[in-house]
């Protein structure tokens, strides 16, 4: 497969060779062929099959992570249980785990840096050519804040990766629609912002009023459901709009172009600004309202036609 690959699903088995980077989110993930670029995967379980080569760096998160293949770069993992039985050309960094086992066939060319309540089980025959640094985690009350912070960080990572996958799906499979929406949004920014604010505030009130009346209950219910779907969709479309607009400026393009990379850029930028109190939240909310406005306008056009 040429180019980057983005996958999501319950069970994801990658069986074809990939010439670039791979991003995966799923329940059970199996990497069964070579990847020339980077690998980022998050799931209930993640396995890199023996004999498989990850050409560059790998970042993995899950309940259980098994590395029987090789990583030709740095490897970073956060998981409940980790088994490494392949070759890592760079450093192996374990952000946090309950159990780490370095198998007899493992070769770590760089450093082994890991955080865990207990020391790693390093089987005889394993080779660690760099330094080994063990950060012991206490499991008592003293470390409860750290554990909660780690859990929240993991949840945040899952949300980030899921958002990347979802906006990429929108950009790839609905490219024409996303391009039209992005052009409309940035071409009539103020209009869509005001329209989005009106839709965001007025529609739920009207829906509830209709819902409590006998004759308008069905209409109110449908309108409220449509409103919820629109708001959820706007939470991802805003990233597509923002990323495409920023890419147009940075690349000095004449027209807005939608791609999965631009959409992912939007998710990244919104994630960054969310850490800035007041201004960052306001910035993200403005683009959310613009997305609500342009989606609401498109929805209204469909009804009229």
Report the pLDDT value the prediction gives residue 143, as an integer from 0 to 100: 52
Phi, psi of 252 (to 5 degrees): 55, 45
pLDDT (average), residues 10-34: 88
Report the pLDDT value the prediction gives residue 210, as an integer from 0 to 100: 81
pLDDT (average), residues 71-82: 92
Looking at the predicted structure, is the pLDDT value of residue 251 above 90? no
5-14, 38-47, 63-72: the lowest-pLDDT one = 5-14
For the chain, what is the mean pLDDT?
88
Report the pLDDT value the prediction gives residue 27, as an integer from 0 to 100: 77
User: In this structure, are residues 44 and 28 in contact, taking their beta carbons and an 8 Å threshold?
Assistant: yes
Looking at the predicted structure, is the pLDDT value of residue 233 above 60? yes
pTM: 0.54
Under 8 Å CB-to-CB from 238, ≥6 apart: which residues?
Answer: 266, 270, 284, 287, 288, 290, 291
CA atoms 107, 110, 115, 120: torsion sign: positive
Residues 132-183: tens digit of each pLDDT: 999 987 654 445 455 555 555 666 677 788 888 889 899 999 999 999 999 9
Looking at the predicted structure, is the pLDDT value of residue 93 above 90? yes
pLDDT (average), residues 74-101: 92
Cα 91 to chain center, whole Å? 24
Looking at the predicted structure, is the pLDDT value of residue 123 above 90? yes
Report the pLDDT value the prediction gives residue 139, as an integer from 0 to 100: 56
Is residue 90 very low, low, confident or very high in pLDDT (cuts 50, 70, 90)?
Answer: very high
Report the pLDDT value the prediction gives residue 263, as an integer from 0 to 100: 92
Phi, psi of 124 (to 5 degrees): -55, 135
Residues 283-301: tens digit of each pLDDT: 999 999 999 999 999 988 8
């Amino acid at each position: 497969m040429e180019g980057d690959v983005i996958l999501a699903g319950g069970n994801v088995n990658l069986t074809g060779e990939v010439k670039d980077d791979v991003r995966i989110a799923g329940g059970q993930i199996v990497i069964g062929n070579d990847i020339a670029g980077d690998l980022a995967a998050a799931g209930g379980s993640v396995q890199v099959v023996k004999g498989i080569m990850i050409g560059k760096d790998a970042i993995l998160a899950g309940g259980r992570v098994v590395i029987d293949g090789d990583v030709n770069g740095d490897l970073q993992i956060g998981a409940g249980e980790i088994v490494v039985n392949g070759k890592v050309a760079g450093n192996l960094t374990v952000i946090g785990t309950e159990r780490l086992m370095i198998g007899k066939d493992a070769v770590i060319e760089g450093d082994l840096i890991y955080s865990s309540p207990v020391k790693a089980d390093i089987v005889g025959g394993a080779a660690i050519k760099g330094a080994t640094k063990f950060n012991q985690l206490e499991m008592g009350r003293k470390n409860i804040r750290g554990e909660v912070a780690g859990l929240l960080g993991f949840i945040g990572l899952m949300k980030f990766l899921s958002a990347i996958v979802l906006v990429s799906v929108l950009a790839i499979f609905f490219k024409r629609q996303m391009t039209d929406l992005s052009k409309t949004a940035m071409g009539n920014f103020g209009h869509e912002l005001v329209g989005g604010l009106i839709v965001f505030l007025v529609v739920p009130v009207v829906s509830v009023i209709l819902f409590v009346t006998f004759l308008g209950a069905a209409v109110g219910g449908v309108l409220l459901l449509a409103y919820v779907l629109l708001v959820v969709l706007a939470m991802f479309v805003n990233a597509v709009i923002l990323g495409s607009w920023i890419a147009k400026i940075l690349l000095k393009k004449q027209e807005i172009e939608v791609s999965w990379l631009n959409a992912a850029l939007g998710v990244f930028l919104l994630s960054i600004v969310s850490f800035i109190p007041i201004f960052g939240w306001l910035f993200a909310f403005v683009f959310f309202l613009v997305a609500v406005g342009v989606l609401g306008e498109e929805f209204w056009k469909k009804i009229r036609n």
